[in-house]
Structure 1
């Protein structure tokens, strides 16, 4: 195999995203062979936006690229100093979160968290879903942070960046360890996932829910299994997600259905069907988020759309831009989740009317924080007094 290194001082910088997107979707030679990326969401693996060079694999005439092995999931250990991330964004309902993993094997092509891999010197494309980072010390770090003098308990959100129940959780079990710490401390938690693996932890979540300490949001993007497999290849099937809603609900755990993301011209016609199905399965709350295409996500999504739904490419992107002020994305608070304009208003009204008809709450239940007991187990620094 030969590689071509192209020095670019602004490789994948945000200012050049539109130009790069045009190059990618028009076939720049950066696309990875389908045989190597089977079961993955992205078709590209461009260098991170902070890198000064771009490396492109190309066939030197000896069919050398055909002999490359399929991409495998690699997991590295990350040992951070703290595990609770603080947030001050005014348009999301939590001020702290935990991410047991960096990157996500689910491979959702639309994932707004993809650009975060650039901070590790990696690509938001295939690297994001194949080169992962696990935090095996997360539970111990959490225990220490909860035990700090003056800590004030509020709901911790998990799954807001990458999915805590992605496939590697079966082996690493970091999420379950975190729940065990929160359970012992009577600390409230809100979980978001696309995986039926959450049912593994029903024993802990059910016990916490009885004390008003836990709820789960299940993201159901589509009921079309073919679309789901293409768009979010390693997530649980839509049927399995509905089964998870049913199992959690029957165990007394409050469950919300999240129609997210809503992609105009692709899955927005399913809003009512998804909410109907989730309600029948036992969901008590509902929310939605419009497709978000920040930074590298835009060219990755556009390439996927052109490869899988070329007949809808122009229509989908036209509708997206009509809700984003003519751009692929508008990061302004208050608009980034819902968009603006007539089409965005129509989506909002459809969701609101369906939620009202089905009796699905728009605002989540308030969880208790008055039961909190600071941890005093192993790994917690004891007072000298």
Structure 2
């Protein structure tokens, strides 16, 4: 594979057809040759930030495989570019591709804080943890520019409402001040995602995420401030990072994580095609082996939509991963417990009084 064939700094190496669109976009050879001669780019390379204006922001999670009741996403699409990300398929609902579009066309919900406040002021709403990043990372690079996540955290604190965060970006430490205030009231739980201890693997799987060192530092600093952290060692990809599970669990425990979770990788919808294309370009020698191992975890297919099975996997390979996880919990987390967040304060602050920010 030549350097020209690989898009450095991106996970997906191409766009795939959006299943909801009738028309198919393709680049013809004569057009590519014209661009080469003229010294022009065949497509826009830089990330675009596109404002959208949803009517609501809090989503009820109906999947029994996901450990949350409600989620919200300040951004759609994610510049982190993780090749395995299940959220890629959601970009098709917006008329874009799950491939490069997902990483380069980031939809910005500037009104998210106002929508959240409107939701929390509903008389019918009863407090239940709302998780930031149920779909795409709330601390992806766009947050440095727009600070929507920060503003949403201020709303959660204003109403003393419990909130969870899922991220793989050390930028979360920029909000340590408000996280500490939320934690004083037992209103915050943080999930830091770490999929490998190898920077080489991290750069291939998750090209625009924070380094492993910075993520471990984030776990350590949050834990030192008594902010509860769960490490998401997900997804486990047989043949790529599954052999690291024990060492990963030991490392995050030593840095202060109170618990860990994991999933077995699944490649639903367009992700199967994107992942297969990616692995043949990045790991050609082991591509077929890895794809077959993934298929062994999902009844012979990459595309597994079965509730109760799709994130756990099945078969010998998946069982080996689960056995390692059971061992890791006994060895490194036996005396630790992730606390339950409080919901009883919300009713007292529902009028929006006593805002300190």
Please give the range of the TM-score, normalised by the shorter of the 2 chains. over 0.9
CA distance in 2, matches of 1:287, 1:351: 9
Unaligned runs of 5+ in 1: 1-26, 379-385
351-360 vs 55-64, greater mean Cα deviation: 55-64
SS of the residue 2:86 aligns to: coil
- 1:271-290 equivalent positions in 2, closer than 5 A: 271-290=245-264
Could you say which residue in structure 2 is the equivalent of 1:316?
Answer: 290
Q: TM-score, normalised by structure 1?
A: 0.86
222-231 vs 86-95, greater mean Cα deviation: 86-95
Work out whether 1:340 is the aligned partner of 2:314. Answer: yes
CA contact (8 A) 2:82 2:206 kept: yes
Work out whether 1:120 is the aligned partner of 2:94. Answer: yes
Q: TM-score, normalised by structure 2?
A: 0.93
Could you say which residue in structure 2 is the equivalent of 1:196?
Answer: 170
Q: Tell me by how many angstroms 1:274 deviates.
A: 1.1
Q: Given the alignment, which residue of 217, 226, 230 partners 2:204?
A: 230
SS of the residue 1:339 aligns to: coil
Work out whether 1:160 is the aligned partner of 2:130. Answer: no
SS of the residue 2:27 aligns to: strand
Could you say which residue in structure 2 is the equivalent of 1:210?
Answer: 184
Work out whether 1:53 is the aligned partner of 2:23. Answer: yes
Q: Given the alignment, which residue of 11, 16, 31 partners 1:41?
A: 11
Q: Tell me by how many angstroms 1:34 deviates.
A: 4.3
SS of the residue 2:331 aligns to: helix
Work out whether 1:63 is the aligned partner of 2:33. Answer: yes
CA distance in 2, matches of 1:62, 1:106: 27
CA distance in 2, matches of 1:221, 1:198: 18
CA contact (8 A) 1:165 1:198 kept: yes
Could you say which residue in structure 1 is the equivalent of 2:299?
Answer: 325
CA 1:251–1:99 in 2, change beyond 3 Å: closer, same or farther? same
How many residue pairs get aligned? The number is: 348
Deviation track 1:200-255 (CA, whole Å, cap 9, x = no partner) reads: 11111112112111010110011111111111110001111101101111111001
CA contact (8 A) 2:258 2:338 kept: no
Work out whether 1:130 is the aligned partner of 2:104. Answer: yes
- 1:1-385 equivalent positions in 2, closer than 5 A: 34=5, 37-60=7-30, 63-66=33-36, 67-69=39-41, 71-359=45-333, 364-372=338-346, 373-376=348-351
Q: Tell me by how many angstroms 1:360 deviates.
A: 5.6
Q: Tell me by how many angstroms 1:343 deviates.
A: 1.3
CA 1:361–1:140 in 2, change beyond 3 Å: closer, same or farther? farther
Q: Tell me by how many angstroms 1:365 deviates.
A: 2.4
CA distance in 2, matches of 1:109, 1:62: 25
